[in-house]
Chains A and B, each alone.
Chain A
Amino acid sequence: MKHRSLAIFLAAAILTCSLCACGGTTPETPASSDEIVPSSPAAPANEITVGIAQDLDDSLDPYQMTAAGTREVMFNVFEGLVKPDSDGNFVCAVASDARISDDGLTYTFPLREGVVFHNGAPCTADDVLYSFETCAATSVTSALVTALSAAHVSAEGNTVTVTLDAPNPDFLSYVASVYIVPKDYAGQAAQPVGTGPFKYVSRSVQENVILEKNGDYYGTPASLDRVTYRIFEDNNALFTALNGGALDLVAHLTVDQVNNLTNGYTVLEGTMNLVQALYLNNAVAPFDDQLVRQALCYAVDVPAMMELTAAGHGVRVGSSMYPAFGKYFDASLADAYPHDVEKAKELLAQAGYADGFSFTIIAPSNYAPHVDAATVLAEQLKEVGVTAEVQLVDWNTWVSDVYGNRNFEATVCGFDASSLTASAMLARWVSDNGKNMINYNNPAYDEAYAKAQDPSLSEAEQTEQYMECLRLLSETAANVYTQDLADFVAINPALEGFTFYPLYVIDMSLLHFAA
């Protein structure tokens, strides 16, 4: 009995102290401490250690990979006939040229001479045919399977020809996703073999993944001899290892982590390549009224929100396109709705909500930037008399309830592109699209989007159609668009050549130690 108060006091103390324990490290730390040596800036060995936040446990098989984190690593191992470069263009990889017929139906890929798989076998047209067949039959990416189902691949000598049933302006981006693998090699999931600048060496579960330079690479070979990806599933442990100097490169850091970084690493800033917005369910009242949606756009102060949540980092966007898509990104749309409380109130009054209204913003609790943005936006909306309640849900609930069942009023989240195509960002807002989470229904948009698919359009005309789609999204205030989040990379100052891609990948072949 006497110890009761002590026990409760201790319980309270534990609640407070447990915070400090959250950064606990995994039991395997003793073994890893001696790995710090190779990554010191003056490493005699030409190799680096990279910290990543998740294990590659979905699959290493090029057609079975689902996680963005896995693609990010395996980008260095696998290549398609063409591959994306850092500007978002497609450059030749396994193919030495990519010729597209005038009607857009025939793609001709002469294969590059001297391409060798990591297992030593030369890459032939048979391997390419096998890769296309296997990919079409087994890929987990449904858009890719759909695109390939309308394609017929044949080989003649050293030239691969792809014939399409109907022109598909985005087909090259799908070709880039068909990684070329050796024929009849069944071990991809355990020991992946590709043609990329790095070859896969090993993976220890929950520990690391090791890649080694591909000495037989046909293009500019990688400078680094070896890249070790160390896995830290706990974000705090990852940061502690980085701050302790045990890692040469860590991407996807937050502005708070960067501000707490004390070891003199170079910090590079890019963007996450997604569109964050307060996505509004256009089918539920009051968001079925365009005036209300526009009022919300005027009511929020996005630069102030970015200042509060990320010290002003990030890029303001005004429609469903992020700046890395240089061709389609229209920066002027970001200023379509300047912060204007009076205008917002006026529009609300016009829509019959002079006294404001209440709604719930759902935010996925595992994404701190979205939760923070939702918190600030809710506070800003108070100014025009709109009461927004923030409700946090776990990621699975968000996917099934908000994304799947469209059972929400508003949500803060980010949409990215699965491939380097405008349609990857824009197809989902067509009124009858299965992924049209916000129930956006605008005949003008549907028409503009359908026009953009017309194979007879020139590239400039097609781009113009997509830009028109973006303008329509902005004009009708489909959502309260906010930003493309800032993405910070901390890198050993001796390393050079880090390049941001418009996709979620890190190209290790460009990295090298300063001479």
Chain B
Amino acid sequence: MKKKTTGINSFLISGAVLSALMLGLILLGLVWTPYSPTAMDGAAKFQPPSPAHLLGTDNFGRDIFSRVLQGADATFLIALCVVAVSCTLGVLLGSLCGYYGGLADLILTRICDSITAFPAVLLALVIVSLTGRGKANVIFALSLLFIPSFARLTRGEFARCRELNYVKSARLMGVSTGRILFRHILPNTLPVLLPAVTIGFNNAILSEASMSFLGIGVQPTEASLGLMLSDSQTYLQSAPWYALCTGGAVVLLILGFSLLSEGLQRRKDG
């Protein structure tokens, strides 16, 4: 019924290449940056991109390339933690709800619905203003907000698989519930879950960048892509490379994972 995609999956490949490239840069940033990302140099303020400063320098004479590397690290690590936490908890909740159903399922589903009814960044703002700023609180807030998307997805898949023959057979054979849930059903939900994880990753990157842009995420002296974008807007006319390079890094990071997600989606559908 569906048209079979022939040949190579260009989305998957380009996404994988781009993501690998960005991941490589991020790993590089963890161990080495050309300059210290916080070192200031009054003599080198607002230098346009040059061999000495690949992406130029900012208003304190700090090397933007070093800061992009460090900022991407911070953003990436936050996104990684957020997805890891929210995916684990979401899948756990979703699988139990989907498999057992009943009142608990009803209540949890409604809670998830009500959380998703609010814009994510707005809710994150509320949580962070209650808990205080800083990396750990951003991770906490975003993880909480991302749980519903994973939980709903997993719940749907588990509810569907619950009545399938292979699950019924396993149940008749006396396989333990834990084994049925995580050895039999979970692997079958991966084609749906994997694209969701990559998309969740993108959303986490964007949310962290937005929160830092608004000044409630990563705090100054440390770098974060969102914070750098926020700082760069004052100098949009006099130092356009600042905003362009930082924004470009966000775009590339997200584009890689978007392509990866689209590729995975096609692989599943095709």
Q: A interface vs B, CB < 8 Å? A: 1-2, 4-5, 8-9, 11-13, 15-16, 19-20, 22, 256, 259-260, 304, 307-309, 365, 368, 371-372, 374-376, 378-379, 382, 388-392
Which residues in chain B, 218-262, are within 8 Å of chain A measured between CB atoms?
219-221, 229, 232-238, 243, 247-248, 250-251, 254-255, 258-259, 261-262
By the criterion CB–CB under 8 Å, are A12 and B219 in contact? no
**Given contacts A259-B238, A392-B215, is CB(A12)–CB(B210) below 8 Å?**
no
Main secondary structure of the interface of A (DSSP, over half): helix
Indicate whether B119 reaches chain A with its CB closer than 8 angstroms.
no
Indicate whether B209 reaches chain A with its CB closer than 8 angstroms.
yes
By the criterion CB–CB under 8 Å, are B234 and A368 in contact? yes
CA of A9 to CA of B237, assembled, Å? 25
- Contact string against A for B residues 64-98, beta-carbon threshold 8 Å, 1 for contact and 0 otherwise: 00000000000000000000000000000000000
B206's contact among A11, A304, A371, A382, by CB below 8 Å, is which?
A11
Q: Can you list 5 A-B contacts with CB-CB less than 8 angstroms, sorted by A residue number?
A: A8-B254, A8-B258, A259-B238, A308-B59, A368-B234
Residues of chain B with a CB closer than 8 A to A390's CB: 219-221
CA of A2 to CA of B270, assembled, Å? 13
By the criterion CB–CB under 8 Å, are B215 and A15 in contact? no
By the criterion CB–CB under 8 Å, are B247 and A16 in contact? yes
By the criterion CB–CB under 8 Å, are B221 and A389 in contact? yes
CA of A304 to CA of B134, assembled, Å? 28
Residues of chain A with a CB closer than 8 A to B237's CB: 260
Indicate whether B40 reaches chain A with its CB closer than 8 angstroms.
yes
Residues of chain A with a CB closer than 8 A to B215's CB: 365, 392
Smallest CB-CB separation from A304: which chain B residue? B42
Residues of chain A with a CB closer than 8 A to B254's CB: 8-9, 11-12
By the criterion CB–CB under 8 Å, are A260 and B42 in contact? no
Instruction: Report B121 CB to chain A, min CB distance, Å.
Output: 11
Residues of chain B with a CB closer than 8 A to A260's CB: 237-238
Residues of chain A with a CB closer than 8 A to B39's CB: 379
Smallest CB-CB separation from A14: which chain B residue? B206
CA of A16 to CA of B249, assembled, Å? 10
By the criterion CB–CB under 8 Å, are A15 and B247 in contact? yes
B210's contact among A15, A372, A382, by CB below 8 Å, is which?
A15
Top 3 closest A-B pairs, CB basis? A16-B247, A5-B258, A5-B262
By the criterion CB–CB under 8 Å, are A13 and B251 in contact? yes
By the criterion CB–CB under 8 Å, are A308 and B220 in contact? no
**Given contacts A15-B209, A260-B238, is CB(A376)–CB(B243) below 8 Å?**
no
By the criterion CB–CB under 8 Å, are B199 and A374 in contact? no
**Given contacts A308-B45, A374-B220, A392-B220, is CB(A4)–CB(B60) below 8 Å?**
no
Residues of chain B with a CB closer than 8 A to A256's CB: 59, 234-235, 238
CA of A2 to CA of B261, assembled, Å? 10
Instruction: Report B223 CB to chain A, min CB distance, Å.
Output: 11
Residues of chain B with a CB closer than 8 A to A13's CB: 251
Residues of chain A with a CB closer than 8 A to B255's CB: 9, 12
By the criterion CB–CB under 8 Å, are B235 and A376 in contact? no
CA of A483 to CA of B42, assembled, Å? 18
Instruction: Report B217 CB to chain A, min CB distance, Å.
Output: 10
By the criterion CB–CB under 8 Å, are A391 and B206 in contact? no
Residues of chain B with a CB closer than 8 A to A8's CB: 199, 202-203, 206, 254, 258
Instruction: Report A346 CB to chain B, min CB distance, Å.
Output: 24
By the criterion CB–CB under 8 Å, are B236 and A20 in contact? yes
CA of A376 to CA of B254, assembled, Å? 31
CA of A371 to CA of B255, assembled, Å? 33
By the criterion CB–CB under 8 Å, are A9 and B258 in contact? yes
A376's contact among B60, B229, B261, by CB below 8 Å, is which?
B60
Indicate whether B38 reaches chain A with its CB closer than 8 angstroms.
yes
Residues of chain A with a CB closer than 8 A to B238's CB: 256, 259-260
Indicate whether B61 reaches chain A with its CB closer than 8 angstroms.
yes
Which residues in chain B, 128-159, are within 8 Å of chain A measured between CB atoms?
133-134
By the criterion CB–CB under 8 Å, are A16 and B243 in contact? yes
By the criterion CB–CB under 8 Å, are B40 and A4 in contact? no
Residues of chain B with a CB closer than 8 A to A11's CB: 206, 254
CA of A259 to CA of B235, assembled, Å? 11
By the criterion CB–CB under 8 Å, are B229 and A19 in contact? yes
By the criterion CB–CB under 8 Å, are B61 and A9 in contact? no
Indicate whether B116 reaches chain A with its CB closer than 8 angstroms.
no
CA of A304 to CA of B220, assembled, Å? 19
By the criterion CB–CB under 8 Å, are B233 and A15 in contact? no
With A8-B258, A19-B236, A372-B60 given, name 19 new contacts (CB 8 A). A5-B258, A8-B206, A9-B258, A12-B251, A12-B255, A15-B210, A15-B213, A19-B229, A19-B233, A22-B233, A260-B238, A308-B40, A308-B45, A375-B60, A378-B221, A388-B221, A389-B219, A392-B133, A392-B215
Instruction: Report B201 CB to chain A, min CB distance, Å.
Output: 10
Instruction: Report A371 CB to chain B, min CB distance, Å.
Output: 7
CA of A195 to CA of B238, assembled, Å? 45
Residues of chain B with a CB closer than 8 A to A391's CB: 133-134, 219
A392's contact among B40, B209, B219, B259, by CB below 8 Å, is which?
B219
